[in-house]
Amino acid sequence: MHEYGWFHWNAFGEMLGVLREAGSSRKLRLVACSCARGVAEFLNDTRHRDAIDLADEYVHFRANKRRLRTSLNAINAAVEQERLRVVVSEQAYFRAFQRAFLFPVDGRNADDGELWRRRVQSHACTTRGAALVSPLLNPSQFDTDSLNSVAMAAESIAGNSAVAGQESWQLRWARALTHCHLLRDVFGNPFRPVAFDAAWLTSTVTALARGMYDSRDFGAMPILADALQDAGCTSDDILGHCRDAHATHVRGCWVVDPVLGKE
């Protein structure tokens, strides 16, 4: 992929290929956390939502590897428990199926079948949620393959949710494009990185950036652009990104990170 394609083609896999050698583990994990938060409303298990927050804490050195492993073990155990419940329900379902030929009026047949279907659905939701958060809870180096796994799991969860099933294809396509926008916000232009001048880092600039990073509310990006410009910044790339009304902004943003001295 070339520079034009990075900004105008929405090919998530090819964009990851550009970052395969240049993407930092911290930034890739932050993008993955944002991808996961985008479908958190569809997660029925609170352990999966808590795992996203825990991964974010790990990025910011507020959680250790032991907490990640403990959470991952609990989630894997829940998947196995749901699988066993499906097996038990499946056995009951087939017993009910056999009874249907011997005792057609037995009212338990429909109940057993419905129980099996509900548990299969529950197992599928648990499995998809685990696929989403398991890479986030891996304490090892986070790479582009890990991010791709999270993004694919997020698409699966959104596509299989009842709410997403009622959305128009335009909205579902827009949801998929969000992952590409996240890469652009966090990594900027990997073909022509922009250098930051230390003279731009006034107290106003750093306070604005810190407030947005801590709160995850990036509504003050245009104000940050004004503050940077007042400090002497003339970069069209930086000012344009801050003032773009349609841009996505999350933790790890390529403009905010250098202001705060982050990788």
**Residue 52 contacts residue 33 (beta carbons within 8 Å):** yes
Phi-psi region of 235 (alpha: psi -120 to 50; beta: other; left: phi over 0): beta
Which tens digits make up the pLDDT trace of 95-117? 555 555 444 444 445 555 566 56
Residue 205 in this model has a pLDDT that exceeds 90 = yes
Query: Which among 180, 181, 192, 179 is positioned nearest to 237, based on CA atoms?
Result: 192
**Do 49 and 120 fall within a single domain?**
yes
Structure tokens, 145: 């393959």
Measured between alpha carbons, how far is 159 from 210 in angstroms, rounded to an integer? 35
> 108: how many CB neighbours lie within 10 A of its CB?
14
* 3-class DSSP assignment, residue 188: coil
Measured between alpha carbons, how far is 78 from 172 in angstroms, rounded to an integer? 29
- Kindly report the pTM of this predicted structure: 0.85
Is residue 106 domain-resident? Answer: yes
More confident position, 101 or 59: 59
Residues of the chain with pLDDT > 70, as a percent, come to 83
Handedness of CA 122, 128, 131, 134 (dihedral sign): negative
Going by pLDDT thresholds of 50, 70 and 90, the confidence category of residue 163 is low
Number of domain units in the chain: 2
Is residue 76 domain-resident? Answer: yes
Q: What residues make up the domain containing 234?
A: 198-259
Structure tokens, 252: 């790890």
**Do 38 and 166 fall within a single domain?**
yes
**Do 91 and 143 fall within a single domain?**
yes
Last residue in a domain, options 187, 219, 249: 187
Distance, CA of 133 to chain centre: 9
Is residue 192 domain-resident? Answer: no
Measured between alpha carbons, how far is 223 from 17 in angstroms, rounded to an integer? 34
Residues of the chain with pLDDT > 90, as a percent, come to 62
Which tens digits make up the pLDDT trace of 23-47? 799 999 999 999 999 999 989 889 9
Last residue in a domain, options 161, 187, 213: 187
**Do 114 and 69 fall within a single domain?**
yes
Is residue 136 domain-resident? Answer: yes
Measured between alpha carbons, how far is 173 from 169 in angstroms, rounded to an integer? 6
Handedness of CA 81, 52, 183, 176 (dihedral sign): positive
**Do 53 and 15 fall within a single domain?**
yes
**Do 169 and 108 fall within a single domain?**
yes
**Residue 42 contacts residue 164 (beta carbons within 8 Å):** yes
Residue 69 in this model has a pLDDT that exceeds 60 = yes
**Do 10 and 99 fall within a single domain?**
yes
Contacts of 14 (CB under 8 A, 6+ apart): 1, 5
**Do 178 and 227 fall within a single domain?**
no
**Do 64 and 139 fall within a single domain?**
yes
Is residue 193 domain-resident? Answer: no
Stretch among 70-84, 178-192, 213-227, 240-254 having the lowest mean pLDDT? 70-84
More confident position, 23 or 156: 156
Last residue in a domain, options 126, 154, 187: 187
**Do 108 and 26 fall within a single domain?**
yes
**Do 212 and 83 fall within a single domain?**
no
Structure tokens, 259: 């202001």
More confident position, 176 or 80: 80
**Do 179 and 203 fall within a single domain?**
no
